[in-house]
Each structure stands twice: as C-alpha cells, then as structure tokens.
Amino acid sequence: RMCRPPERVAPMAEFRAELLRDRKPGSIETAALHRSGRRIPVELRVTPLLDGDELIGWTSFSYDLTERMQAQADPLPLRLTQW
C-alpha cells in the first residue's frame, strides 16, 4: 500500500473516481512517502480488471521518478565553441 502525503489525498481521490467512472487504464504523477518520511516522486499506473462489464479489481504499478526528475533539473552543460 502506498502512503501519500496529505496534500495528495484529494487529487488521488479524483483520479480514483475517474478510473471508476471510465473503467480505462490511467496514470498519475504523485508522491509517496518512504517509511523514513522522505517524499518520493512516483508515477502510478492503474488498470481495471473487468469480468464482462463487472469491475472485479485493479492492477497497479508505481514507478520511482527520482532519477528522471533529477536529470530534468540538471540539464547537460552547454559547450561554447568559437567560429
């Protein structure tokens, strides 16, 4: 079970309602809390499990986005060249 920071509860509830309504796979970038209390940026991908038209469950995967976000925040240095 993923622990969410308090400010992420409402956006996750909206995401959950959308998944229940549409019954289509979806994803959301959010944050999880490590047991140490450190926030971890994650992408949560959720797919409904259907038996005909009946929703019988969900599969979900969380992906740690820490490295991707660090790479985006620290772009490669530009090289200056003389003509």
Q: List, for residues 30-52, the tens digit of each pLDDT value.
A: 988 888 888 899 999 999 999 99
* pLDDT score recorded for residue 26: 93
According to DSSP, the residues that pair with 43 across neighbouring strands are 29, 63
Alpha helices (runs of H) in the chain, residue ranges in sequence order: 9-22, 66-73
Distances in Å between the Cα of 69 and the Cα atoms of 54, 64, 66 are 38, 10, 5
Put simply, whether the predicted model's pTM sits higher than 0.75 gets the answer no
Question: Long-range contacts made by residues 56-64, C-beta under 8 angstroms, separation at least 24?
Answer: 58/19, 62/2, 62/32, 64/40
